[in-house]
Chain A
Amino acid sequence: MTTKVSKGSLFPYVIWIALFVIAPILLVGYFSLLDLNGNFTLANYVNFFKPAYLTMTLTSFWYAFLITLFTLIVAYPTAYFLTKTKHKHLWLMFIIIPSWINLLLKTYAFIGIFGLYGPINAIAEVFGIEPTQILFTDFSFIFVAVYIFIPFMIIPIFNALDKLNPTLVYAARDLGASRFTTFRRVVFPLTIEGVKSGIQVTFIPALSLFMITRLIAGNQVITLGTAIEQQFLVAQNWGMGSTIAVFLIIFMVIIMLLTGQKRKRGRV
């Protein structure tokens, strides 16, 4: 049948997998075992478990957790209400459009908005609050990150809600469940897969943010991503950078297993 035609078509694809999927992972693993002079060592791994790096890892997780939580809190009701609008796919489109504007530009906007003389401080002044520097704080960092991730969280939740059979909701209501009970026992459990993929596309990137931390948080917040960038491009210590990358990959796999298992089984 088509097999012969198609086997040849796999060739460039398999080369791509070998060169850009397998080789980079192996190289990162290899470099994590090298010191600055290129000798084999486990020192990078020992370093990672020293307090400085452990604290950084924990704060990075804490920020990623907060960012994911707030994104979810904003995104779920938005997706829910969107599915109830008349032209829901058109409205979803309007949610997606901002996500296509260059990330850097959106971040840059907040440098002005949160600035000392920016509109937020101007509004605060009307209410008699002294202008303060909002930039370079934890708040500004989390706010901007949440802003960036909201559309990516809304899309999978919207899709899950959209697929939900409305008769199930009617049935629950007919059987006497209150609005809240219907939501808690019917709607939410049935859309949990959408929430899980939303968490996946938010939490992992949130762990590795480095551009927003540099532009918005000054150098107050150091995430795993910032640390990798620092080691690779500033300190030129590729060994240590690779070691952090190895741990980031491990965390990623764990998060994937926690959030993706059921869906994958369903797909196969």
Chain B
Amino acid sequence: MNKLTSGAKVYLAIVFLILYAPIFYLIFYSFNSGGTMNNFESFTWEHYQAVFEDSRLLVILINTVIIALLSGLIATIIGTLGAIGIVSIRNKKMRNTLLSFNNVLIVSPDVVIGASFLILFTMIGVKLGFTSVLVSHIAFSIPIVVLMVLPKLLEMNTNLIDAAQDLGASKRDVLTRVILPYIKPGIFAGFFMAITYSLDDFAVTFFVTGNGFSTLSVEIYSMARAGITLTVNAISGIVFIATVLIVIGYYFVTNRSKVGNTGVQE
């Protein structure tokens, strides 16, 4: 009854093929000495070399990673504290209001977020560049961290906190030794999601980045508008490898913490 028919298998195969073909197409031609994406002449590493020799591109790559890690870290701290705060609110109306505010940036189209942040930074007088991009990335990552941490907090048994307090734990102890270890998987997931949001963002960054500062997405956009350069293909090869490594790493981290978690509960 639950077996897949061969038709279904073919269907799935086609979907997977379509999903992956463009990515492998890009990577394949990154080794093309020909310089176009349709005529494979001979194998070469020259486009990868070009990436690593282009100091401007390297700076952009480093900027992108710094922005992602830094915004992910700060968003995780604010978001986790926020989630703990939300859960502690007894007033149901108040709690739901905060949660709806939380979801505004998640559902808003990124063009609207970008445009409104542009107005905001201009009004406050923040110079467009590293700061504005970093602050925007923190801002749109916070709600996703909250959404990742919240379920863990809600499923936590409040008796654990009462027990800790009865045993003489201070409020700080309760936070650092009971609550935070329990919600750790949620915090990890939130941090990870924040980083991927930041790495993947184009629209918001495009609005709030000034002339001097650029992230990978914005740079690829301007390169792609100019036409096909196989340097972009080489970048996609690097990005693909990095993504797969991150996914595998994340998979192991979450699986380990899951095992640890059930171990505690049982």
Residues of chain A touching chain B, judged by Cβ–Cβ distance below 8 Å, are 1-7, 9-10, 12-13, 16-17, 19-25, 27-28, 31, 74, 77-78, 81-82, 84-85, 91, 93-95, 97-98, 100-113, 115, 117-119, 122, 147, 150-151, 170, 200, 204-205, 207-208, 210-211, 214-215, 224-225, 228-229, 232-233, 238, 241-242, 245, 248-249, 252, 256, 268
Contact = CB atoms under 8 A, between A and B. Distances in A.
A115 B29 CA distance: 14
* Closest 9 pairs (CB-CB, A-B): A13-B82, A10-B85, A112-B37, A208-B109, A6-B88, A24-B116, A9-B81, A109-B22, A20-B139
B216 A13 contact: no
Contacts of A17: 98, 101-102
Interface string B8-41: 1101100110111011011001000000111100
Contact of B12 (A82, A93, A205): A82
Given A100-B200, A113-B25, A214-B225, A105 B220 contact: yes
Contacts of A109: 22-23, 25-26, 236
Contacts of A204: 107, 109
Q: Tell me if A's interface is mostly helix, strand, loop or mixed.
A: helix
A25 B116 contact: yes
B146 to A, nearest CB: 8
Given A7-B88, A105-B26, A117-B36, A2 B161 contact: yes
B46 interface: no
Given A81-B11, A98-B19, A229 B82 contact: no
A20 B25 contact: no
A13 B221 contact: no
Q: Tell me if B's interface is mostly helix, strand, loop or mixed.
A: helix
Nearest to B244: A97
B203 interface: yes
B175 interface: yes
Contacts of B78: 12-13, 16
Contacts of B211: none
Nearest to B229: A108
A27 B119 CA distance: 7
Nearest to A9: B81
A257 B32 CA distance: 50
B185 interface: no
B109 A13 contact: no
B117 A245 contact: no
Interface of B: 1-4, 8-9, 11-12, 15-16, 18-20, 22-23, 25-26, 29, 36-39, 78-79, 81-82, 84-90, 96, 98, 101-102, 104-105, 107-113, 115-120, 123, 139, 142, 146, 158, 161-162, 165, 171-172, 174-175, 179, 196, 199-200, 202-203, 206-207, 216-217, 220-221, 224-225, 228, 232, 235-236, 239-240, 243-244, 246-247, 251
B79 A13 contact: yes
A59 to B, nearest CB: 17
B23 A5 contact: no
B119 A10 contact: no
Contacts of A224: 111
A252 B37 contact: no
A118 B26 CA distance: 12
Contact of A113 (B22, B142, B172, B175): B22
B110 A208 contact: yes
Contact of A106 (B22, B110, B118, B225): B22
Contact of B108 (A4, A115, A215, A249): A249
